C-alpha cells in the first residue's frame, strides 16, 4: 500500500482548498503516459483512502494499488514551490502503516 507523509497530506489538503473542490471530493492518483498525476474526484468502491485531519485527501483506484506497494509519497520544497516525491522505503514495503494512516514525517 502507498504510504503518505503528514507533510504530503497537508499539501494535498491545501491543493483541494485552492481548487475549490466540493467537500466530498479528494485528489485521485491517475495514470498518465509518463507517470501519475492528480485529479479531483470522489471515492469509488475499492479505493485506497488516505485521510488527514478527518478529511479524505487521496484516493487510489484498485487497478493501480499494486504498482504503489512499498512507495512513500512525500512533499519537498523547491524553488518552484512544493513538489511531491515518491520513494521506495523498507517501512512502506513492509506495510508498517495501517490503511488510511499517515506515517510520521521522520519515516
Could you tell me the residue ranges of all domains in the chain? 3-94
The per-residue pLDDT for 35 is: 87
Give CA–CA dist 91/97, Å, rounded: 8
pLDDT tens profile 20-78 = 999 999 999 999 998 899 999 999 999 999 999 999 999 999 999 999 999 999 999 99
Q: Which CATH class is domain 3-94?
A: mainly beta
Q: What is the pLDDT of residue 106?
A: 42
Instruction: Please report which confidence band the pLDDT of residue 80 belongs to, taking 50, 70 and 90 as the band edges.
Output: very high
pLDDT-derived band at 104 (thresholds 50, 70, 90) equals: very low
- Pairing status of strand 81-88 against strand 71-78: antiparallel
Torsion angle, alpha carbons of 87, 91, 96, 101, to 10? -40
Q: Confidence band (pLDDT; 50, 70, 90) for 19?
A: very high
Q: State pTM to two decimals.
A: 0.78
Evaluate whether 72 touches 3 at the Cβ level (below 8 Å): yes
Exposed / middle / buried, residue 107 (Cβ in 10 Å: 0-12, 13-18, 19+): middle
Amino acid at each position: 500500500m502507498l504510504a503518505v507523509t503528514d507533510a504530503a497530506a497537508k499539501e494535498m489538503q491545501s491543493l483541494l482548498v485552492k481548487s475549490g473542490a466540493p467537500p466530498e471530493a479528494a485528489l485521485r492518483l491517475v495514470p498518465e503516459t509518463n507517470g501519475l498525476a492528480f485529479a479531483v474526484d470522489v471515492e469509488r468502491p475499492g479505493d485506497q483512502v488516505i485521510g488527514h485531519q478527518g478529511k479524505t485527501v487521496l484516493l487510489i483506484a484498485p487497478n493501480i494499488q499494486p504498482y504503489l506497494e512499498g512507495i512513500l509519497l512525500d512533499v519537498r520544497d523547491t524553488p518552484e514551490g512544493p513538489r511531491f516525491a515518491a520513494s521506495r522505503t523498507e517501512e512502506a514495503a513492509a506495510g508498517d502503516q495501517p490503511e488510511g494512516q499517515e506515517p510520521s514525517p521522520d519515516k
